[in-house]
Structure formats: structure tokens, C-alpha cells
Amino acid sequence: MQDFKSKYGPWAIVAGASEGLGAAFAEELAKRGLNLILVARRLEKLEELSDNLKFKYQIEIKCYSIDLADYKQIKNFESHIGSNIGLLVYNAAFAPIGYFENVSEENLLKIVDVNIKAPLLLTKLVSQQMIQKKGGGIVLMSSLAGNQGSPKIATYAASKAFNIILAEGIWNELNKHGIDVIASCAGAITTPGYKKAQNSKDAPGTLDAHEVVIKTLNALGKGPTVIPGFINKLARFFMGRLFPRKMAISIMDKNTKELT
């Protein structure tokens, strides 16, 4: 814990921290002694989480209500956060469910803004500070859906593929500055959003949010990507290495049909 704090402290940004996986990241980082900057649209959720974590872990926390689809808000936020950021966790995502023909242009643009432009911009801004400090860490939450075409969440999956490739590239580039980068390619996670979208039983390999967080943070500094969960690792191996591409997409189609 102390090594983690000294390497990635004193402050961590968690974008998309109001509930679910983001809140789990916030709690685990607080447990490891990092002060937190929590970002999401719903300020009341952030403040509720903040009060709980400050009481349990005796750390400092700042909360910011930001629409991560708004470039200007992100730039303004970054100009006020100071230079002691040692870790960025980008967990926020916009994932409208529906076949491409039925997804509005507005929602397609929002997927790009929240899932691609915002993590790209925050990573650029925060990494510039980390380069000067000669150290830090960046976690981009991705998805197993980003490893092949995924019907009914096609654009979301494509945005997650972007984050995997981005993380792999800058993992190599920023390593010389002492900055660790990782993309966490998670499968299904028992978050409020997943429960709301899933009509049937949990998908194979579904993990608790805290388990995903611990496996992701423990993998930081060990390589450009991590796949939390043994079943998910197997799925990635078969879907990406053994099955023909057409079969992998067909399997995803069967897995996403029940999403609403």
C-alpha cells in the first residue's frame, strides 16, 4: 500500500466516480492512501461517496460536477486541479444499447465525446504534468467488447477498441518518463448500469466491481493491458486467437441480444 501511494500519489483523479466501478476505484484508492479528485455529472452522488470515504480513510477529497462530453468543461477543470496528480483513472462511459440503424446521431456523437475525446484529452493534459514529475499512472477502462465487432453496442465497442490501442501505444512512449499506462479490458461487471441493461442471468465471467478494481490496480506497471478474471481471459483467447472473426462476432451477437 505504501509503495503504491509513493508511486502514484498524492492525488488521483477518478472520472466517472458516482457509482458502480468508479466508486469502487475511489474506495480502493482511498484505502491505499491516495487523496481523490472525483468527477461525474451528479454532484450529490459524489459528495455522498466523498463523505463516506473521508470518514473511513481520513483522506482529502475534491468533487467536481463535469459533463465529460463537454471539451470546454474538461479544459477548465484541468486548469484548476494543480500539479500533484499521480494517477488518472478514466472510467466514464456512454453506452446506448440498440442496433446501429436505431441509434440517434446525437447519441453517436456523445459516445465519441465521452468514450474517446474525453479520455484522450485528460490523458494528454495529465500526462504532461506527470512527465515533469517523472512518474505517475494512467488507467483507461476498456472492455472485452472492444476486441471484435459487437452487435447492438457496435459504436460503444469501437470506442473501447480505441482506448485499448491508445493505451498500448502510450504505454511504450511514456514508460521512459516513469509513467505506467494500462487498459483494463473487463467483461461484465455487477454495476447498477449492467443490472439495468441485463434482462437475463449474468453473463459467464461476470465479476464484482471491487474485484475488477483490485486486479486492474495490481496489474498497473506490469504491461499495457489486463483482462480481469480467468473466464474472461479464456474468452479473449478463444475469441481473438482460435475462432474465425465471423464466429467471434456471431458469439457477441448472441450475448448482446438480451441487452436493453
Q: Are 252 and 188 in contact (CB under 8 A)?
A: no
The correct CATH number of 2-256 out of 2.40.30.10, 3.30.360.10, 3.40.50.720, 3.40.50.10420 is 3.40.50.720
Where do the structural domains in the chain lie, given as residue ranges? 2-256
Report residue 243 CA to chain centroid gap.
27
Residue-level pLDDT at 79: 85
pTM, entire model: 0.91
Residue-level pLDDT at 82: 78
Angstrom distance (rounded) from CA 91 to CA 148: 20
User: 188 in the Ramachandran plot: left (φ > 0), alpha (ψ -120 to 50) or beta?
Assistant: beta
Residue-level pLDDT at 212: 96
Low-confidence ranges of the chain (pLDDT < 50): none
Residue-level pLDDT at 108: 98
Average model confidence (pLDDT) across the chain:
92
List, by residue number, the catalytic residues: 156, 160
Residue-level pLDDT at 199: 53
Q: Are 210 and 26 in contact (CB under 8 A)?
A: no
The set of cell numbers assigned to 125 is 493534459
Sole residue written with cell 458502480: 20
Residue-level pLDDT at 11: 97
Angstrom distance (rounded) from CA 179 to CA 170: 9
Q: Pick from 189, 62, 76, 167: which is nearest to 125 by CA?
A: 76
